[in-house]
Amino acid sequence: MNREIARERAKELVAKMTLEEKASQLRFDAPAIPRLNVPAYNWWNEGLHGVARAGVATSFPQAIGMAATFDKELLGEVGNVISVEGRAKYNAYAAEEDRDIYKGLTFWSPNVNIFRDPRWGRGHETYGEDPYLTGELGEAFVKGLQGDGEYMKAAACAKHFAVHSGPEALRHSFDAVANDKDLWETYLPAFEKLVKKADVEAVMGAYNRTNGEPCCGSKALMEDILRGQWEFQGHYVSDCWAVRDFHTNHMVTATAEESAALALKTGCDVNCGNTYLHMMSAYEQGLVTEEDITIAAERLFTTRYLLGLFDETEYDKIGFDKIECKEHLELADKATAEGVVLLKNNGLLPLKKDEIKSIGVIGPNANSRVALIGNYHGTSSRYITVLEGIQDAVNEDTRVYFSEGCHLFRDKVEHLGWRQDRVSEAVAVAKNSDVVVLCVGLDETLEGEEGDTGNSYASGDKVDLLLPEVQRELIEAVMKVGKPIIVLNMTGSAMDLRFEQEHADAIMQVWYPGARGGKIIADMLFGEISPSGKLPITFYNDTADLPDFEDYSMKGRTYKYLTTTPLYPFGYGLSYGDADITAVEVNGQAVAAGAKVAYADDMKVCVEVTNKSNMALGEVVQVYIKDNDSAFAPTNGKLCGFARVNMKAGETVKVCVPVDEAAFTVVNDAGNRLKDGKSFTVSVGFGQADARTKELTGKEAIVFTVEG
């Protein structure tokens, strides 16, 4: 439906409401208005990596794992599956007059905050540390979720606007201070892309203040930028109970009425929380006008009309059989497979089934369902842990030994046991195995959102980059046995894996791989699939490489401003095979390493990739650019284009990568984007052109210069 038509219908309907009725519709749990045939509607739903918190749904890898695919098409397909299953659930629940939380069509996803610091517990909800990658994947996800039909299939929400990435413990009172350059170069671009290019229907404000103003009541963010410069037409929602923080933590207002008034008048249309229960009192005190309330109500009903909630739509026939259907589960498997990142392999992988008589599977995440699913997850009708995947994959006569090894973080598994009461079992398993798969890491009880985790001492954040002490002790004890060891790290963030890098035979970063992810990981271990994921974040050596967690300056952060050598660079990832870039063309002209190319407004890099292996491979062609002239250029090159390539054994595939239109620009200290250079270094490869990537991969990117 055309937005103008939806807006007119919304105005018509809202005009029939009393002031009290209009005010009631600004709550996330909007009540019914029976006399106008308006059913109750709950705005709060989640769809970060599958429909969440409303029963069974297809479970995709956590967002950071999907970011590691560098696959825009995949993210679009995932968004579409979420909207299809969301519609199937909505149709079924609405038929029963069930209007409960998590059962509407307004999904508060994706999270396009920048994962600027690996200590942030919610970083795994994001698409990583790079604004360009985040914007590209976020745009694809939003378009897939909202669809291109006559009506909007589901409404996406870009969150959390803006400059938000921890610390979780301070978020209710924290002022994230960002200078204009960092604001416009790093923190805002993904939001801008989702508003301008993806027509995202909703934006959610963050808990914190940004440069002194609470994000859900910020004139600079909401009025000047979002609705002013970007001409955002959708609705704005507060993070949950964030408006209450105005007077209880930020202390920018004195009462709930003042907080409700500030949020509403700045453009916050729907309140997740209870502060808008004071809206009529705010009106009676003269803090808001009826027009303020009316404008917000009209925006919200415009969205409901766009979704077709008062009409018959092409989505009304989507049936319950679409939930966890075969096609959706296959897409989840594909997402898992494309997102696993092989960090090290000394030749041990892939394992040869016929040569292994016994395999030891050890670690607190080996048989953990919680480690599969991340946070903001739905329920799966079946879970396949790493242990179960391996048990199903091995030959009939292969013995699979298992030991939990240790608790995820406590010093014992059994309450009455000695400290580290499972380590001796783990050592015995290792001694009796030909090869060991060591499954370590975290889960949503240790890294996640404040209040949702068991990690109360850090509110979901990490205090450092180390695995819990009990896991480090387990790893050392098992490695002393001397058997070949594969480490599977199941986390949503970068960890200090220096010991593992030095001592393990192979390491995989498997993230939180989805409810059935254990099957795909087992298939990968045995060579049915080659790893092809790339890191969407930098793996630092330790926190000594990082500025203070509370410092929002980008200096020294992420691959663009890093001055130290990382453990594993952004964009890095190995495979089982060998592929080469055998030809590069820029705007139809063949380009060799060291060449000089004339600048053109629309630059397209076309690459021939040859698979020199005897197995199918996936790779990600990555294009980086560095402005050689401007003082405002980032310290290192920046990602400006990427494309996933899938090749059969021996196959050569040509792929073209349009270079981002902003690639040749920089952001100055005033926050203005401009072209400020005439010489640019461009690299094309399967990762960055840095020394560490070359050291780890043995491959060099093709580097040339663009001038003009």
Report CA-CA distances (Å) from 395 to 355, 399, 439.
Answer: 10, 9, 21
- 663: pLDDT strictly greater than 60: yes
d(CA 444, CA 460): 8
Residues with a known catalytic role: 239, 447
Q: What is the pLDDT of residue 660?
A: 82
Report CA-CA distances (Å) from 618 to 118, 572, 634, 701.
Answer: 27, 13, 30, 17
- pLDDT tens for residues 494-527? 999 999 999 999 999 999 999 999 999 999 999 9
Nearest to 108 by CA among 251, 225, 270: 270
Nearest to 398 by CA among 350, 428, 434: 434
d(CA 113, CA 91): 32
Q: What is the pLDDT of residue 456?
A: 56
Residues near 27 by Cβ (< 8 Å), separated by ≥ 6? 270, 271, 274, 276, 277
Which secondary structure element, helix H or strand E, spans residue 703, and what is its range?
strand 702-707
Q: Do 17 and 297 form a contact (C-beta atoms < 8 A)?
A: yes
- pLDDT tens for residues 619-660? 999 999 999 999 999 999 999 999 999 999 999 999 999 998
Q: What is the pLDDT of residue 457?
A: 57
d(CA 652, CA 95): 52
Q: What percent of the chain is predicted at pLDDT more than 70?
A: 99
Which secondary structure element, helix H or strand E, spans residue 316, and what is its range?
none
Read off the amino acid at residue 586.
V
Q: What is the pLDDT of residue 307?
A: 98
Q: How many CB atoms lie within 10 A of CB 116?
A: 28
- Which architecture, in CATH terms, is 579-707? Sandwich (2.60)
Q: Do 81 and 88 form a contact (C-beta atoms < 8 A)?
A: no
Nearest to 113 by CA among 61, 165, 63: 165
- Over residues 176-180, mean pLDDT: 98
Give the angle 184-188-193 at the CA atoms, nearest 5°.
115
Q: What is the pLDDT of residue 601?
A: 86
Residues near 148 by Cβ (< 8 Å), separated by ≥ 6? none
Domain 340-537: assigned CATH number: 3.40.50.1700
Rg of the chain taking only CA atoms, in angstroms:
26
Q: What is the pLDDT of residue 451?
A: 76
Domain spans, the chain = 3-318, 340-537, 579-707
Which secondary structure element, helix H or strand E, spans residue 250, and what is its range?
none
Q: What is the pLDDT of residue 661?
A: 79
The reply to whether 340-537 and 579-707 are identical in fold is no
- 455: pLDDT strictly greater than 80: no
Q: How many CB atoms lie within 10 A of CB 596?
A: 11
- 267: pLDDT strictly greater than 60: yes
Q: Do 166 and 461 form a contact (C-beta atoms < 8 A)?
A: yes
- Over residues 181-208, mean pLDDT: 98
DSSP state of 307: T
Q: What percent of the chain is predicted at pLDDT more than 90?
A: 97
Nearest to 607 by CA among 594, 627, 592: 592
- Residue-averaged pLDDT of the chain: 97
- Over residues 357-373, mean pLDDT: 98
Q: What is the pLDDT of residue 458?
A: 64
Q: What is the pLDDT of residue 450?
A: 87
CATH H-level, domain 3-318: superfamily: Glycoside hydrolase, family 3, N-terminal domain (3.20.20.300)
- Dihedral sign (CA 690, 693, 699, 702): negative
- 453: pLDDT strictly greater than 70: no
- pLDDT tens for residues 674-708? 999 999 999 999 999 999 999 999 999 999 999 98
At residue 150 the predicted structure's pLDDT band, cuts being 50, 70 and 90, is: very high
Q: Residue count of the chain, please give it.
A: 708
Read off the amino acid at residue 593.
A
Task: Extract the tokens encoding 676.
Answer: 């400020």
